[in-house]
Chains A and B, each alone.
Chain A
Amino acid sequence: MIRAEKLTKRFGDITAVDGLDFEIQVGQIVGFLGPNGAGKTTTMRMLTAYLPADQGRAVVMDLDVAEHPLEVRRRLGYLPENNPLHENLEVTDALHFVGRLRGLYDDKARTERVKAVVKTCGLGGVAGRKTGELSKGYRQRLGLAQAIIHDPDVLVLDEPTSGLDPNQVHEVRDLIRELKKEKTLLLSTHILSEVQAVCDRVIILNAGRIAADGTPDELSGSLQNKNRLHLSLKGPRDTVRSALASIPGASSVAGPAAWGKVSDAFVVESEASVDLREEVFRLASSKGWPIMHLSIEQLSLEEVFRKLTGSAEAGPGEGAS
């Protein structure tokens, strides 16, 4: 559906996008995650045939972007960074305008489409307002409405929730979740909670390269070099402790100590490749100690992101997820 092959873009000395390789399948919703300047926007601009690639190529729906730029743009919906809008147009006029430029010449059919996207994007209440007078949340909805006016199969959204307050972020995310049901979707963000909230897959970009690629869970898992088991067994503490330490593969045991809501929690560490849960179960059942709690600690995506990009900028999500 979307494929990048050694995609490269330079601006003078800066290599903004450095030999990207990835493929996005039909129906996937993929998040480009990366600090500012990572090359997210530049990559999207190459996918949408706005910027030509210096090297490599981009393929959208089996069409080479460099060879068939218009055809690619016809099939793809794009929300550029910062959601630029024609300020002096009314909301419906803006949609009609983009619709006509997208080849929806038939007045009746276009009016139908405008109605449909106004409904999908919840713009009914502001349909007659000037774009320039809209709140940020509504502006974003209008940007999305413009991007889907022609009902594209592929949507590319550059930072669709940046600059919104938490409620608006929530609304726009709901809208994106609604859209993703039928579309292949690539969105970029520098907010971590966003990809966790809406994406099937995350591609972490850093300095124009892919730093990691996987589901949010995989990424959190793959970067741990240790597995940490948090567990609580109902039994004599000291015996439990030494029994845990004697499990083959357990490298260290700490506790018991309070851990979250669990009062007597032990932390058993092992190599990342070793899963001790079954051993723990066997031990507990042979000794007759009921398991009160058992969980594996995963690095949060945020920690993964920090590790990969060495960025201090990535704070916790800027909004509710």
Chain B
Amino acid sequence: MTPVLQVRAVLALAQREFKGYFESPAAYVAMVVFYLVSGYLFTATLFLSNMATISGLAEAMPLLLTFLVPALTMGLLSEELKSGTFETLATLPLEDWDIALGKFLGFCGVHLVTVAGLAFYPVLLRLLAAPGAGLDWGEASGILLGLLLMGLMYGAIGLFASSLSRSQVVSFVIAFLFCFIFFMAGNLARFAPGAASTLMEFVGVDSHLDTLAKGVLDTRDLLYFASITFAFLYLTVVRLQSRRL
């Protein structure tokens, strides 16, 4: 028997989760923080460098996501496990993959909307900038894509963390630690010796974001994000299955 994704059930779950974010303050708070910080970074770079670029966003947004994404994902499964509704879900005709993916996609929707909102900045620049001071669209979309992919990867990590504990706080801390490792690995790489340095460089999220931020679309970077995202989704499913023992 090969499990086939039940697409419509997955979408029903994702839709429910997406709506749920906007029925509690969680998504709004996260978005307000997100846009306040990004707005500050944007204007600061704009006035300091007087250049038509959103590169300021690439500086501090990754660190912000390291906090925000775990906050958004901490309840995804831990709440269901705590309230017992996981048993309801798990005794519906759904595979654990359906449940994990539905939850994940619900978060993806929120993250996508949030990052899409950042497109406001390059559009604004395009409108404001003098015709000669052309905005680098490749760079701008690279930065946005980087933030998008990074958030999705963190989301999968957060989902996994959320499957580990009935406590949202514990889930948050675990997710944050994992995300922070990926965040810091690149930064610490230069202090590590030889091969370790290269490895840390690759494991860390920074180098991949940097390439994207240069407007370079490299399959290695895409593979990096995709494989880590998938790996944590897979771990989530393994974890859900082990709960049934």
Chain A residues at the B interface, C-beta cutoff of 8 Å: 45, 48-52, 67-68, 70-71, 73-74, 78, 80-82, 84-88, 97-98, 100-103, 105, 146
Contact = CB atoms under 8 A, between A and B. Distances in A.
Given A45-B87, A88-B20, A101-B13, 4 more contacts: A71-B93, A80-B84, A100-B9, A101-B9
A49 B89 CA distance: 12
A51 B92 contact: no
Contact of B12 (A81, A87, A101): A101
Contacts of B88: 78, 80, 84-85, 98, 146
Nearest to A158: B87
- Centre residue among A74, A80, A87, A146 by max chain B CB count within 10 A: A80
Interface residues of B, number: 25
Contacts of B85: 84-86
Contacts, number: 66
Interface string B122-161: 0000000000000000000000000000000000000000
A50 B93 contact: no
Contact of B8 (A48, A71, A80, A100): A100
B244 A101 contact: no
Interface of B: 1, 6, 8-9, 12-13, 16, 20, 23-24, 83-95, 244-245
A100 B12 contact: yes
Q: Is the interface of B mostly helix, strand, loop or mixed?
A: helix
Contacts of A70: 93-95
B91 A49 contact: yes
11 contacts: A49-B91, A50-B90, A50-B244, A51-B244, A71-B93, A73-B91, A78-B91, A80-B91, A97-B12, A101-B94, A103-B9
Given A85-B85, A86-B85, A102 B93 contact: yes
Contacts of A100: 8-9, 12
Contact of B245 (A48, A52, A88, A105): A52
Contacts of B86: 84
A83 to B, nearest CB: 8
Given A50-B244, A52-B245, A102 B92 contact: yes
